[in-house]
Amino acid sequence: MAAHGLDEARFEIVIIKTTGDRIQDRPLADAGGKGLFTKEIEEALIDGSIDLAVHSMKDVPTELPRGLVISTILPREDVRDAFISLTARALSDLPAGARVGTSSLRRAAQVRRLRPDLEVVEFRGNVETRLMKLANGVADATFLACAGLRRLGRADRITAALDPGEMLPAIAQGAVGIEIRDADSTTATLVAPLNDGPSALAVEMERAFLARLEGSCRTPIAALARLDGDRVTFTGEILTPDGTRHHRTERHGPLADRVRLAVEAADELRAVGGDGFFTA
């Protein structure tokens, strides 16, 4: 609206509750994992009920339904994970046996790798629900994305932002994407001014890494692409869910070679981990 000087009456926001929103009683991996936060929205896009879809890109499968495309990536927010606790200032400060709540397979595996003496408990719900569970003692600490807390005006709840060197974020964490029908040139023109080039290139690289690994919803995978002019530094990681096995690799090179570098990193990790790593 702002980019084109159009009246607000020209736009309608449609709220769609997805399968991922509705499932609160079990881990999302048990329900299939992939596409749980996008399926119903994409169905509305395909049938013409909506003209564009707005997604948290870390929820978007690497393979899109036929006829749909991610046309636009908004400026990326803080990529880091936020450690939140009412009793400890950092993950390292938690006493042995303390409970860490998370619904993320990746975060659970990373916590188990860093602190195998802690207990990881399932922790579902929106931000406010999770913060309330923390206050009620369901867990001693939890993790959320810094990006989500900042966008909701709740950055004050961040006890500590974790350096990606300690906890590598999810693929495309902090990035919001716009999905449209690939033949819809009118909507493509409308959203084009919103695209942030550097963010889009970083997300493309991370998603190429994930696609190459063909990671299941039960394989913790993390990655981060950091751009510096026409150069890129890429870090990728795979873990077993129990955190006992962990492999990480890094690539540096020209931004123009980003997809090749991501694929090389994925191939290296697959070779090191072996095929059983992704099926165990």
When divided into structural domains, the chain yields a total of: 3
Please check whether residue 255 lies inside any domain of the structure. Answer: yes
Domain check: are 4 and 24 in the same one? yes
- CB atoms inside a 10 Å sphere around CB 266: 23
Buried b (16+ CB within 10 A) or exposed e, 221-247: bbbbbebeeeebebbbbbbbbebebbb
Span 217-248, pLDDT tens digits = 678 999 999 999 999 999 999 999 999 999 99
The pLDDT assigned to 94 comes to 97
Find all residues with CB under 8 Å of 167, minimum gap 6, and list them.
Answer: 80, 81, 107, 110, 114, 143, 222
Please give the pLDDT value at position 32: 55
Q: What is the pLDDT along the chain (280 residues), one digit of tens a residue?
A: 999 999 999 999 999 987 656 555 555 555 455 677 798 999 999 999 999 999 999 989 999 999 999 999 999 999 999 999 999 999 999 999 999 999 899 999 999 999 999 999 988 778 888 889 999 999 999 999 999 999 999 999 999 999 999 999 999 999 999 999 999 999 999 999 999 999 999 999 999 999 999 765 678 999 999 999 999 999 999 999 999 999 999 999 999 999 999 999 999 999 999 877 877 5
- What lies within 8 Å, CB to CB, of 23 at 6+ separation is 31, 36, 124
Q: Give whole-number Cα distances, 188 to 51, 66, 164, 166, 200, in Å.
A: 10, 17, 33, 38, 15
Identify the pLDDT of residue 216: 57
Q: Is residue 168 part of a domain?
A: no
Q: Which residues of 162-189 are buried (b: 16+ CB within 10 A; e: fewer)?
A: bebeebbbbbbbbbbbbbbbeebeebbe
The residue among 109, 137, 161 that closes a domain is 161
What residue numbers bound the domain in which 18 lies? 1-74+174-195
**Cβ contact 96:117 at 8 Å:** yes
Residue 111 placed within a domain? yes
Instruction: Identify which of 113, 171, 118, 112 has the alpha carbon closest to the alpha carbon of residue 145.
Output: 171
128: CATH: 3.40.190.10
Catalytic positions are 59
Amino acid at 168: L
Same domain? For 49 and 181 the reply is yes
Quick one: 279 and 200 in the same domain? yes
> Is residue 157 domain-shared with residue 18, that is, in the same domain?
no
> 10 Å Cβ neighbour count for 7?
7
> How would you write 61-72 as a 3-class SS string?
CCCCCCCEEEEE
Residues 137 and 92 in one domain: yes
User: Rounded distance, CA 7 to CA 10, Å?
Assistant: 6
- The pLDDT, as a whole number, for residue 263 is 97
pLDDT reported for residue 74: 98
Q: Which of 135, 161, 187 is the last residue of a domain?
A: 161
Query: 22-69, pLDDT tens digit by residue?
Result: 555 555 555 455 677 798 999 999 999 999 999 999 989 999 999 999
pLDDT of residue 246: 94
**Distance separating the N- and C-terminal Cα atoms of the chain:** 49
Beta bridge partners of 55: 177
